[in-house]
Structures are given as C-alpha cells and as structure tokens.
Structure 1
Amino acid sequence: MEPSSANTGFIQQQPIIKNQFHEDVSLQRIAKLYLPPSLLEKVTPEISRLGDAVLSQQIFDWITDAERNTPYLRGSGRDAFGRPKQELIVTEGWRKLQEFGFANGVVAINYDSSSPSNGPYSRLIQFLRCHLWEASCANTMCPAAMQDGAARLLQRHLTTPQLAANLSETEKSVFQNAYDHLTSRDPAYTWTSGQWMTERTGGSDVSQTETVATYSPFPAGHPVPLASKEENMPLGPWSISGFKWFSSATDSQMTILLAKTRPGMGVSAFFAPMRRWNPELVSPTFTGTGATGGGGTELNGVTISRLKTKFGTVSLPTAELELKDMRGWLIGQEGEGIKEISTILNITRVHTTVSSMGYLGRGIGVAKAYALVREAGVGKGRRLPLYKHPLHMRTLADLTAEYHGLMLLTFYTLYILGLDEHLSSSSSPPVVPPPIHPLTPPTPKVSPLLRTLSSLHKSFICHSTIPLSFSCMESLGGLGYLLNSDSEHLNLSRLFRDACVGAIWEGTTDVLASDTLRALKHPSAGVKALEWLVETGLAASIKKVWEGLKKKFLDKGKKQQEEEKLVSEARGLTHRLAEVVIAVLWVVDARVRPGREVEGMKRRWMAKHGFGPSGGGDGEEEDVKVEGDGLELDLAIVYGEGGPKGVVEGGSVPGVSKL
C-alpha cells in the first residue's frame, strides 16, 4: 500500500458544468411556459450560444482578474504634486466582461428596433439571457441594470406624447443622445448609468435628501459649456451640489439622481453626464501640436471621496461622491422625482431578483455536476456516487423545488412587466401568437398587478435565495467553502457573498414589505388584481389563505394600534402573500405542462409551505398521485426525465471536456 502525496493518490475529478439553458430543468419549463412555441424556437439558437459562451475559460479568467485586482483611485485621488486627481482604475477583466455584455445586448435587446415582433415578450427573452449571464458577469450587470432603468425612463419621456411635448428641442437632443448610448451594442459607444439616491440620511427613504439643485442657466450671449465636444452636447442649466453616500456605478458615463429644488417640495429627478469638456486641460505627457492646451474631459463637478470596502461585489466600484456644481437636466416636473425614479426601480428590482436567481441557478448547476463525480461512504466499505445517495438527492430535489417556485414568481413578474411596457408604448401590436399563459391579466389589471409584484417579488425572492445559495455551497462540502479562484467555475463562495447584497440594495426586505402594504391599501388596484390572480388559479386551499390575508389588508375599521401591528407584521404578511402567488403559479404550471416531476415538486412545495399536498384537495382539483416518490423521482426532479444523461459507473461523464 503506497502513501499519498501532493501529486499522487486520489485526486477528485472536476465537475463538468454544462450549458444551463439546456441543463437547467426549471429554466426550460419557464421558457416553454411563458413564450409562444414559434418565438421560443426563433430565440433558442442565440440563447443557447450565449449559454455556452458564459461558461468559457476566457470568461472565468476575466472574473478572476476582476475579483483579484479590485478598483482603486490612482494616487489615492491626488497627483504627484498633491493636486486632486480623480482617476478611477478598473481592471481589464472588468472592462472585458462589460464589453461582452454590451456586445451581447444584455440591455439593448429589449430596445432593439430590429426585433419588434418580440412585443410584450421582449423582457422575458432579455431576462432568460440575463439569468445565464449573471453568475459569470462579476457584477457588471449592476451598472447594466441602472443602464436599463435609465434607458426606459428616457424612452418614456421621448416617446410618450404628453411627456415629449414638455421637452425643448435641446432637451430632446440631449435625452436622445443619452438613450442611443444606453441602448447600443457597440462597446466603444455604449454607456452605463448611475442611480444616485442613497445619502447618509437614508437609502430608499429619500425624504431627507440633502442634495440641492438650483436652476442656474448659463449667461445668454455666451457659448454653453459642453459635456461632449465630439457630439456637441451641452451641459444642463441646473447646478447640483450635495453628497451621495453609496454609488455602485462609479465608472458610468451618466447618472440619474435625486435632489431637492426648494423647501417644502419633494425631490426632483435629474439626468447628468459624468464628464464635461474643459478646453483648458493640458496633458503633461503630450508634447506635440497643441501641448499648451488641447483640451480634454474632466468629471462634471464630481469628487470621489472614497471607494467602499464591501463583504461582496468586490469587483464593482462603489463610492462616496461629493457633488459641487454638477450640471444636469431636470426630468419631468419639479417635486415629482419619486414618480420618475419609480420607473427605474421597477427595472433595477427585477434585475436584482434575476441576479439572485442566476446565482442560485448556477449554484444548483454546480451541485448537480459535483454529484455526478463525487462518491461518499455509506458504511461497511461501500461507496456510492452522490447522485445515487438517497439523502443527498432528496436535499437537491427539495432545493430544486424551492428554486422552481421562485423562478415562477420571478418570470411571472417579468411577464407582467413586459405587458405593462408594451401597453404603454406607442409601437404597433405584436405579430407573435397570443399569450399562452393562462394568468394573463385583463388590461386594466396589468399596471396594478405590476405595482404590487414589483416590491413583493424582490422582497421575498432576494431574501429567500441567500440560504438556498448557501445550501449549494454546503453540498460541495469543504470545497464549497473555498475561494476557488483557481477553478473559478466552482467558486460558489463568491456567488454566495454576492447574493447577500440582493436583499439590501434597491430596497431592503423590510422596506419593500412596507411598500407592498402601501400598494395593497388601494382595494380597487393591488388587492383586486391579486384577487383576480388567486380566483383564476382555481385552488381552494390557496383561496382560504388569501381570504385571511385580504381581511387583514382591507379591514378599514382598524384602530391605530392594529394598524401599527399590521406594519410590524409587514415582512411576514408580504412573504406569506408571495407564497400564495407562487402556489397559484405552481397549480397553473402543473396544469399547463403536466408530468411526474412537476407534480412531485408541487406537492412537496405545497406541503412544506402549508397549502396541503397539492394546493387543492377538496374537490376543486384532483390530487394527482405521484408514482415512485423516492430516489428515482428525485433524480428526475434534479436532472430531468430519465435522470442524469451519459453517466457511467464511477460517476464520470464521457465525451465532455472539462473546463
């Protein structure tokens, strides 16, 4: 018997991570549930190609570079002579990952005029792609989310007749220029955007904002200073000064920010470029013609006070910013900044949720792959591959069921978002087949349903994915706890750290739970829209839970103490409401595309979350008996019908190269 050494003895075969668009059973169900067959057939080749590309070794090398070489200020913010110098340095890996996202249209695809036939399904197609990209993007989707939100906001003001009528020709030109940058696929032309709300007085609560905007147009008869000389874009007439406590897109080319314009009035929304043209700038390293003042760009009244040191998202440059005479343009009306920024929040919140789900989906993908190559002792010298171990597979099957429930809520919210945007756009009706999802709401209920789901889904899902992501990490044992930068495709600890922020930014769990209650205070809107959803779902035990919740929301005879108690219970009520919506979606999913695996997942999920074995059970819908509720069913739930494909004894998968 030979002793082992560093290079001899047993060395674990690496798991093989396959294209998740095909291997993720839940993602496949979601795509078939929400997209018309002809449209799914049309977009599948491109999504499949992206699914392969995001798992390439080049992508993982860029991730490692972005994580290891974190952003910094050159010279700590000063030059060799002590003068302030704001030069943010990001690594090549970060830049390359951003460029990959731009070129693959992770934002632009929703605004692509060459694909009008996608109609209300554009958001679903966009986020199917984002779901695959999130775990490989090293947080570059954070500024991309704000890029998407800013594009949608500017699009509304440029294309909605009553809003566009309020814009001057100069404002139209400035907004259109920014919109064109935000929706481009050309990495050399595309912009990302900041979204500056958070100050020291509060995050989502902007009522105490200390940033002040003053209308101060440039003197008449003098040339207006430029944001960009090449594009001849002028700076805005508003001077903005203040301090933004948490900016997660410090390397962006523009921002949407909130500021107060006068006492006693609510906050207002502004667009501002990050840089401005300064004809007096001199490059100390340029000695050719024009060396005495060729001009250049500088930050537009922005000083990076310091970069944040964070638990996760370390590749993302996050900063405290001081603003002094930052020049910008008012968006909408003074005092209506919350109304304007809500357009962005609807977008950034779904991006945050899809990010959390993308991390979880990748984690499950790694756990599934690891189970195919790892063995465990089961006593008396016997060893089994983990995919044949009943306890391990039951754990992964239960994890998969929780994941699919969250996927149903995530993509139903995206479906409603797409319907809402399409209804409010001026584009022609879609030429794709009618929606196939049976929970497509009547037109009057679309916006109220989105108003409620916008806060509800983010509050529940981003909070729920954190322990589930940890379970994926745990399924790898000690390997999962390591920072596997040497095998980046297995680095679940990085994904877990980054997943934790989902429950914090764009509104914490409690902030969004409170917002959900506010949305439900309007019985003609949120409550009735949800009631339509539950009634259409046709599951009696779900209705019983809903009726109890509805009574709490609508009882107008409450005393002040009871109202305060309702607020204190907002998190629990909101999360229970999210479970009601998910339960309805489970029933519909199993009814539309029945099968042993989905029925098994549904029954287990319903029982765990207090809805009975199937969500019905009282004659309104029949309980479907699931045969073989053991290892065989667990394998089918995790790997799809028939269990894992191409596995030979010993747990290896032939014919597939490892990363």
Structure 2
Amino acid sequence: MEPSSASRGFSQRPPVLKNQFHHDPSIQRMLKLFVPRDIAQTATPEMARLGAEVLEPQIFAWITDAERNPPHVSGSGKNAFGSPNSSPNQLVLSEGWRKLQDFGLEKGFAAQGYEFGRDGWDQYTRVVQYLRVLLWEGSCANTTCPSAMADGAARLLLRHLHLENQEDLGSEQRKVFQNAYAHLTSRDPRTAWTSAQWMTERGGGSDVSQTETLATYYPAPAESDAPLYCDPAEDVPLGPWRIDGSKWFSSATDAAMTILLARTPTSPSKGLSAFYAPTRRYNPSLTVSATGRTGGMELNGVSISRLKNKMGTKSLPTAELELRGMRAWLVGEEGQGVKEIATILTITRVRSAISGLGYLSRGLAIARAFAEVREVGAGRGKRVKLTESALHMRTLADMTVEYHAMMLIAFYTCYVMGLEEHPSSSVRGPPSSPALAAVTPPAELVTPLLRVLTPVLKAYCTKRVVPLLHACMESLGGVGVLENSGTEYVNVARLFRDACVLSIWEGTTDVLSTDLVRALKHPKGGRDSIRALDLIIRNGTGAAGSKGENIVHEWERLRKHVEGDTQDDLLGGARGVLWKLAQILMAVMAIVQIKSEDDAVAKAMCERYLVSNGFMRSHEDVVEPRSARKGLELDQAIVFGHSLADDRAAKL
C-alpha cells in the first residue's frame, strides 16, 4: 500500500443531484392530493423542466457570484469638489444576483398568481405556483424575498383596484395603482418590478406601534421642490404625500417600489397608515453625463445609511434607510395601515414557510445523493453504501416523515388561500378527492380558517426546518459544514445559513404565537376560526378509527384550554398552543392523504408521524416489518419514494 498524497489515493465520487420534481416524493404527493388530475397533467411538463433548469451549472455559477460579491454601496456621498452627489449611496449588485432575479421574473414566481386568463386554474393556482417556488428556492440565492413581497404588493393593489371594491380611488390614483400592478405581474425582466416592505424601525422591530416615520399631505409642490413623475415615459405622477423618517431593516433594497407604514400628524390617534411609493423618480435637472446632459432617474427621497452584515442571506441587499421627502400614495384609509399590510403578510408568511421547505427539499436531495455514493465500514472489513446502512436510512426516513408532514400543512394552507382568492361563484370544479372535499371549508369559514393557518404554518415550519437542515449537513459528515462554493450544488451550509432568518422576519415565533392567540380569542372572528378548525379536524379524521379519535381528543383538550382561559392567561403559553395546533393539523392532513391515496409508504409515514407526536399511544399499533431487511427497505422507500430493491431488480 502506497501512502496517499494531495492528488493520489482515495477520492470520493461526487454525488449526483436529481430533478426534485421527479425525485422528491413529497412534491409528487402534494400535486396529487391538492390539484385535480387534469391540472396536474397540464402543469407537469413545465414543472419538470423547471426542476432541471434550477440545477444547471450556470445557475450555480450565478449563486457563487452572488455569494462572493455581496451588495455594497458605492461612493462617499460627495463629489470630487466636496459637494453632495445628486444621487449618493448607489447600491451595487453582482451580476449573479441580477441574473437570478431575471430568471425568477421570467418564470413568473410572483406573476403566476395573477395570470387569471392564462391557465384558468382558479383556486388551485397557488398550489402549483408555490410548488414551483419550492423547486426554485434552493437555487435562488434569496431572490425569492423581493419576489414574495411583489406577490403580496400585487395582491394588495389588486384588492383596491377590484371592480367590486366600492372605494373611489380617483382616476389619477387608479392609473398609478394599475401601472404598478402591471409591472409587478409582468414576466419581462425589462419591465417587471419587485417590491419592498418597509415597517421595521429602531424603536420597535415587529412592534410597529413605535413607528416614527411621518407622512404629510403635500400635493402639487412647487416645480423647484420635487420632481413630479415616477417615469415621464409612462406619464405616472408621484403621490401627494411626503414621507420623512427612517427604516431600520429593509430587505429588497433594490426593489422598484415599496409599501410602507407611516404616521399621519392630522390623525395620530387613528393608528398607522399604509403608503405605496416608487423607489425612484425622474428629475429633469439631474446631471447624468460628463458633458452636462440633464434629466434622469434618482432615488425617490431615499438614502442608504448602511447595508446590514448578516450571518445568512448575504446576497440579499438589506439596508438601513433614511427617507426625506419621499413622495407616496395613501393605500386605503388613514389609520388602517396595519390592516392593509396584513394582506401582504398573509402571502409573505406563507412564502417564508415555502422557502424553508424549499431549502429542506434541496437539503434532503443532497443527503439522498450523498447516501447513494458514500461507502462506510460495516464490520469485518465489509463496506456498504449509506443507502444500505439501517441506522442512516432510519435517520433520513425520520427526517423525511417530518418534512412531509410540514409539506401537507403548507400546501393545505395554499389550497385554502386559493379558495379565499377565488370565491365560490368562480370555483373551478370539485376538489381532487372526497378526502380533500371533507376538509374544504364552506365559503363563510375560509377567511377565518386562513387567519389561523397562516401564523401556525409560518411559525412552525420556519422553526423546524433549521434543525432538519442541520441534520442534512450532519449526514454529509465534515463535508456538510464546509462552504462548498467549489461544488455549489452540495453547499448545504449556505442553505442552513439562509434558512436561519426565516423564523425571524415577517414576525418572530413569539409574535406569531401571540397573533394566533389573539385571532382565536377575537370577539368576532375567533368563534368562526375555532368552528372552522373543529369542522376540518372532525371531517378529516372521520372513519379513521382510533387514529382519528386520538387526534380529535387532543383537539378537544386544546379547544377547551383556548375557550376556557382568558387571552392574557393564554399568552404566556402561546407557543405551546401554536405547536400543538400545528401538530394536530399535520396529523389530520396525514390521515386525509392516506384516505385519498391507497399507498403503503404513505400509511407508514402517517403512522410514524402519529407515534412520534403522541397521537398513537404505542408502537404496537403500528405495523412495522419484522425483519431488519424489510425495515431497511421500508425506510428506503420513505426516503426515495420507491424501493431500492425494486431498482436493482429492474436493472437485472
């Protein structure tokens, strides 16, 4: 035996990633459970292509570029002669970030939810849209953050533009909102916009009641005071409100527009108000060339104080901003800003959960690929692949079971979101199965149900994906913790870093737990939310025997606790309330799936989930293979979606 060297001796064969659309079993199960067969068949070819495209070498090269060249601010704010620059603090972005942003815009990861005449999928559009986002997440280098905010902003503006909305926008403001909505829902990178959402300030973080940004009604300024147009080519005027203040944590700093909160001095007691503002405006006197040519775009009263240096999401430009004379349009009524922002938060919170599950889907794909090529000692000189290690496969199977349960609650929430956005008068056909029909709420309970599903989904999933991604890192051994930019497609460390922020922004776990308790105890909507939960839990577990009875029993205990205690008494244990409700809902959806899909692997995953979360009292209730070999094959089937023994037989 010769000694090894840096270039001689054993070299691990690199893992090969497979298209997650085909090889993540949970993605296929979500499509089958929540989408009618004809829609699934129509959507499948494009989703399969997307699954391949996001693994192309060029995509990973752009990711590496975006990570190695994070955004920065150019210039000192002054010119060579000591005078302030007309456009100070310019944000500089890497080519990788811009290319990934363009890819996402072209694929319509925000626009698809608003292309009502394109596919005609009505209430199922969100399920397909967010399955596509999930496929993209592991390769997007955080460009789904501004995409999610664009999605939410489009929904908010559409609500105010809707013909049934009795609000009189006025012809000028309607034109402005229609223009912004058209940009947000475009797939052309040359014209498409992303959006930002500016709420956080130094005084409060998630507590927006401490907002110090002021909005002053200031129509028709003097010609020398401020430019009037966002873009003269589109003849879209800037708003009549002037915004002054600062924002402490603004993601998507490169976005073309923002929705922000500010306080109006004429009605300070009414609460905060919401505003729409483009982030850039046309200035006819701006010097744009060395020859003295004037007329160009500048920031709309925004200056970047500094960019944030974060543990993760390094490619995403996140900044502290100062606003001085930013021109904006009021959205809705004065004092109703938190209510308006809630429309955006519903979408961004759901998409935060989808992002976390997208990272985990990729992390598990890497772990599966590594297990197929890595050999380990099995005693007495024997070596086997990790796929033949009973302990390793059981570990991956347990991780897959929890991931699958979170996928069920996530895409059930997407399904309910679609029901809210497409009322019963325009619903396209019945649910895909009688089991799904049983947990489809009546029209009057859709919104109360979504009101509680959203904080539960976002808080639980974004929290749980972090340790599961860490376990994906661990499954690769020492390689997992490396920043593998040289082999970017196996860089689980990047996924882990980026996932850590998801439980913090768009509401921390404590904020969302408090939000859930307040929703359940609300004097008007709380009863409807509880009634909706009771309906789907009982209907979803019906005819499931002792499994269903145990789930209902746990729900009855939780419901008695929520209804019997005051809101103040519940708040101290709000996390426990949210956690138990999340587990109950995931258990219900696991039952729903095995009712709609007669599959032994799905049944095994359901039973393992119920046992691990206390819904089945004993392992004796679960039918597990008696032989070690059969147990290994079941774990392989859970992890890979099929038996590896069948694969070997097919090759023979």
TM-score (norm 2): 0.93
Shift of 1:641: 2.4
Distance 1:645 1:477, change over 3 A: farther
Partner of 2:123: 120
For residue 240 of structure 1, give the secondary structure of its aligned residue in structure 2: strand
For residue 269 of structure 2, give the secondary structure of its aligned residue in structure 1: coil
**Partner Cα separation in structure 1 for residue 646 and residue 243 of structure 2:** 60
Q: Tell whether the 8 Å contact from 2:159 to 2:165 is kept in structure 1 after alignment.
A: no
Distance 1:568 1:41, change over 3 A: same
**Partner Cα separation in structure 1 for residue 354 and residue 645 of structure 2:** 26
Q: Is residue 2:560 matched to residue 1:551?
A: yes
Shift of 1:544: 1.0
Partner of 2:594: 590
**Partner Cα separation in structure 1 for residue 116 and residue 70 of structure 2:** 36
For residue 161 of structure 1, give the secondary structure of its aligned residue in structure 2: coil
Deviations 1:397-441 (A, max 9, x none): 0000000000001101111011101119xxx72445544323111
The range that moved more, 321-330 or 72-81, is: 72-81
Q: Tell whether the 8 Å contact from 1:117 to 1:432 is kept in structure 2 after alignment.
A: no
Please tell me the residue identity of whatever aligns with 1:513.
Answer: S
Deviations 1:43-74 (A, max 9, x none): 00000000000000000000000000000011
Shift of 1:204: 2.2
Q: Tell whether the 8 Å contact from 2:275 to 2:328 is kept in structure 1 after alignment.
A: yes
Q: Is residue 2:279 matched to residue 1:277?
A: no
For residue 635 of structure 1, give the secondary structure of its aligned residue in structure 2: helix
Deviations 1:6-65 (A, max 9, x none): 111111111110100000011111110000001100000000000000000000000000
Q: Tell whether the 8 Å contact from 1:635 to 1:644 is kept in structure 2 after alignment.
A: no
Alignment of 1:127-166 (within 5 A): 127-163=130-166, 165-166=167-168
Please tell me the residue identity of whatever aligns with 2:282.
Answer: W
Q: Tell whether the 8 Å contact from 2:227 to 2:282 is kept in structure 1 after alignment.
A: no
Partner of 1:378: 378
Could you list the structure 1 runs, at least 4 aligned residues long, displaced by more than 6 angstroms after superposition.
Answer: 220-224
Deviations 1:559-595 (A, max 9, x none): xxxx544211101111111101111111111111022
Partner of 1:634: 635
Which stretches in structure 1 are left out of the alignment for 5+ residues? 618-622, 655-659
Shift of 1:605: 1.1
Out of 202, 205, 223, the position equivalent to 1:200 is: 202
Alignment of 1:214-613 (within 5 A): 214-219=216-221, 225-262=228-265, 263-285=268-290, 287=291, 291=292, 293-423=293-423, 429-436=426-433, 437-438=436-437, 439-522=439-522, 523-538=526-541, 539-555=548-564, 558=566, 563-612=567-616
Shift of 1:238: 0.3
Deviations 1:500-553 (A, max 9, x none): 001000000110001000111144221111111111122110111111111111
Distance 1:491 1:644, change over 3 A: farther
Distance 1:644 1:192, change over 3 A: farther
Partner of 2:56: 56
Partner of 1:174: 176
Shift of 1:141: 0.4
Shift of 1:387: 0.2
The range that moved more, 456-465 or 590-599, is: 590-599
Shift of 1:625: 3.3
Shift of 1:129: 0.3
Alignment of 1:640-659 (within 5 A): 640-643=641-644
**Partner Cα separation in structure 1 for residue 399 and residue 246 of structure 2:** 43
**Partner Cα separation in structure 2 for residue 188 and residue 589 of structure 1:** 43
Please tell me the residue identity of whatever aligns with 2:491.
Answer: N
**Partner Cα separation in structure 2 for residue 201 and residue 225 of structure 1:** 32
Shift of 1:445: 1.1
Shift of 1:317: 0.3
Q: Tell whether the 8 Å contact from 1:78 to 1:86 is kept in structure 2 after alignment.
A: no
Partner of 2:46: 46
**Partner Cα separation in structure 1 for residue 286 and residue 139 of structure 2:** 39
Report percent identity of matched pairs: 52
For residue 447 of structure 1, give the secondary structure of its aligned residue in structure 2: helix
For residue 211 of structure 2, give the secondary structure of its aligned residue in structure 1: coil
Q: Tell whether the 8 Å contact from 1:483 to 1:494 is kept in structure 2 after alignment.
A: yes
Deviations 1:577-630 (A, max 9, x none): 110111111111111102221111111111111111699x9xxxxx67354561
**Partner Cα separation in structure 2 for residue 77 and residue 377 of structure 1:** 61
Distance 1:645 1:80, change over 3 A: farther
**Partner Cα separation in structure 1 for residue 5 and residue 150 of structure 2:** 51
For residue 313 of structure 1, give the secondary structure of its aligned residue in structure 2: coil
Deviations 1:265-307 (A, max 9, x none): 210000001011111111243x3xxx3x431111111010000
Q: Is residue 2:88 matched to residue 1:88?
A: no
Q: Tell whether the 8 Å contact from 1:39 to 1:432 is kept in structure 2 after alignment.
A: no
Please tell me the residue identity of whatever aligns with 2:501.
Answer: V
**Partner Cα separation in structure 2 for residue 77 and residue 386 of structure 1:** 56
Q: Tell whether the 8 Å contact from 1:236 to 1:329 is kept in structure 2 after alignment.
A: yes
Distance 1:475 1:225, change over 3 A: same
**Partner Cα separation in structure 1 for residue 245 and residue 274 of structure 2:** 14
TM-score (norm 1): 0.92
**Partner Cα separation in structure 2 for residue 416 and residue 432 of structure 1:** 15
**Partner Cα separation in structure 2 for residue 205 and residue 6 of structure 1:** 55
Distance 1:528 1:409, change over 3 A: same
Please tell me the residue identity of whatever aligns with 2:600.
Answer: R
For residue 280 of structure 1, give the secondary structure of its aligned residue in structure 2: strand
**Partner Cα separation in structure 2 for residue 253 and residue 547 of structure 1:** 48
**Partner Cα separation in structure 2 for residue 269 and residue 63 of structure 1:** 34
Please tell me the residue identity of whatever aligns with 1:201.
Answer: G
For residue 5 of structure 2, give the secondary structure of its aligned residue in structure 1: coil
**Partner Cα separation in structure 2 for residue 90 and residue 630 of structure 1:** 51
**Partner Cα separation in structure 1 for residue 140 and residue 647 of structure 2:** 30
CA RMSD of aligned residues (A): 2.1
**Partner Cα separation in structure 2 for residue 121 and residue 527 of structure 1:** 25
Deviations 1:234-268 (A, max 9, x none): 11000010110000011011000000113212100
Q: Tell whether the 8 Å contact from 1:606 to 1:614 is kept in structure 2 after alignment.
A: no
Please tell me the residue identity of whatever aligns with 2:213.
Answer: T
For residue 630 of structure 1, give the secondary structure of its aligned residue in structure 2: helix
Please tell me the residue identity of whatever aligns with 1:110.
Answer: G
Distance 1:261 1:21, change over 3 A: same
- Count of residues paired in the alignment: 631
Which stretches in structure 2 are left out of the alignment for 5+ residues? 542-547
Please tell me the residue identity of whatever aligns with 2:615.
Answer: F
Partner of 1:620: none
